[in-house]
A and B are shown apart, each in its own frame.
Chain A
């Protein structure tokens, strides 16, 4: 008989990695299972020219119909869509973007690290929609304070209630002239543009920041290539007691045993695993007495290139250092002080400069097009909108009745549509963004409000949400299942709402807080 671990952690990304860091260093014997392999970041990559790739950088046609982020350079890193299928109804395209490797999506995250505020945690108090989280900003703030230095987050403090400041490597770098002009245009309209707040360092992943220290403690057993099929339950106690998993390569089946189970396999994989964990006690999936497991799927909608402009002074190759380059972030300003008439919540704008606008933006072809592209090279200024999608009951995932993955595990059917609220927000963002560019003296060459399909932001959230009421939520304020007290879910699936902020920093904070809560409860003999 193999060891029964104190804690089984499923998933090795931000959520699982942070839980392991807290628990293993705190003395708990942990087993971590992840569906993917251990990646050697140096040996796994070689430098290549795009023309030496088989498809000249286009990528193998049809390999990743839903992962627009995948390039031919990094195609081998993303989860294979044929091995890992899912479904959606016609007209409801959902782009589910996954990485299956130790470190998970932290191997490729955008590193944006923004705190949530009580505009999110207490969202219902502000506009009456949805549910408040069972935690407030003051509960999470001490954990944000500890995580930002670990991930060497750089940024600039602004003193805004809707975007709390953190512990930053102070970014006081000088903005380029075009960024300064845009920021000034924002300021004149009472809008704040700030520096990006992002994790720094060569690699800012779970696999280099969290897991090494957890392993060093001697309390973490890391098992890659372990595709977890279901969480097992002791029929006498109703408590989780481990998980069944398959070796990714051989498909041999194993049973890992533990006193506590933590799920951090990424938002939709965690919920899929729980829905697939059916037993006599939990016929609709583990910890699903409320029927809300799988419900309230949301994310942050993206409008990529909602405004494309050129900086006139930079045309003709004059956009050198000083004038062009760099970017920033327009902080959410809608529905903070004044209420909008046609939508609730808000959006942020991510802006960048110094690129060359794509050919499609010019109504030209041939020599005229090439000349115009040459003329505008390096003079581009773009805005991407990131807006809050409302958590709605009807947006959900469920287990597909017949479709299974490479390992014989039932897959998800995903159903998410953006509502009129999101569409109104996207239109407003486009109009505001274009106006700000014009105020800054830029020439707007394209604008639109066409949202990317749900999922494409890779900020999928909800489906296993926290809440004070066990009848309308799966988890309590400690990421602990209402129904199964030794089962915790620590990733983005636990979010009650998501704001416009990139979620990874909050996932890390929730997971650290849950991990330390588990240590404390174990000491007290409650777990």
Chain B
């Protein structure tokens, strides 16, 4: 709770006419105190709603491997990208949900087959052969193999969820003063 911000705003009130203080006929928006707010994602942890705990652990390891932290640049896990994708997939069309669920299960199955342990336990060299489809050149048509398609989509999604996160913006703003990711948002039309 940003109590200090609220009281800073409230401090201007005595200088205003009484009607303005109570939002009366003479009040205009710019004279009202601006209350600072905090988005839910910055205030609390998201609750898992889509993946199983095993799938989530697999996705977390995949995120570490695909979008690791690099110098000052936070990685996907640091940016809450895994938990965000759990939320996003819950709201996504069925075909995309299936692609992700099957993709994560396939990672787990391949890990068990090759190394007899969970994908979440694999180090980078051990995961390498399983992630080989990501070393194939880009084609305009999505890969025919659903597993390869899953890896491509997961990589894009994890990158976007990372770069578009609050944590990433905060980390990068220490390096640059440019306000990247800020844009004009259209309010709902009546």
Contact = CB atoms under 8 A, between A and B. Distances in A.
Contacts of B52: none
Contact of A58 (B39, B41, B160, B182): B160
A448 B138 CA distance: 10
Interface residues of A, number: 45
A188 to B, nearest CB: 28
A366 B160 contact: no
B136 interface: yes
Contacts of B168: 51
B185 A47 contact: yes
A359 B156 contact: yes
A450 B139 CA distance: 10
A173 interface: no
B91 A51 contact: no
> Chain A contact residues: over half helix, strand or loop, or mixed?
loop
Interface string B94-129: 001000000000000000000000000000100000
Nearest to B159: A359
Interface stretch (A68-76, A467-475, A516-524): A68-76
Contacts of B184: 45-48, 73-74
B72 to A, nearest CB: 12
B92 A75 contact: no
Interface stretch (B1-9, B14-22, B63-71): B63-71
> Chain B contact residues: over half helix, strand or loop, or mixed?
mixed
Contacts of B188: 76
A49 B168 CA distance: 12
A358 B157 CA distance: 12
A171 B131 CA distance: 49
A54 to B, nearest CB: 9
B182 A365 contact: no
B164 A46 contact: no
Interface stretch (A36-44, A121-129, A347-355, A378-386): A36-44
A45 B185 contact: yes
A8 B66 CA distance: 59
> A-B pairs with the 9 shortest C-beta distances?
A448-B140, A450-B140, A50-B181, A48-B185, A51-B166, A61-B92, A45-B184, A365-B134, A56-B164
Given A58-B157, A367-B70, 5 more contacts: A45-B184, A48-B185, A57-B164, A58-B164, A365-B131
Interface of A: 36-37, 39, 44-53, 55-58, 60-62, 71, 73-77, 101, 249, 358-367, 369-371, 446, 448-450
8 contacts: A45-B184, A46-B185, A48-B182, A50-B181, A55-B88, A56-B88, A56-B164, A73-B186
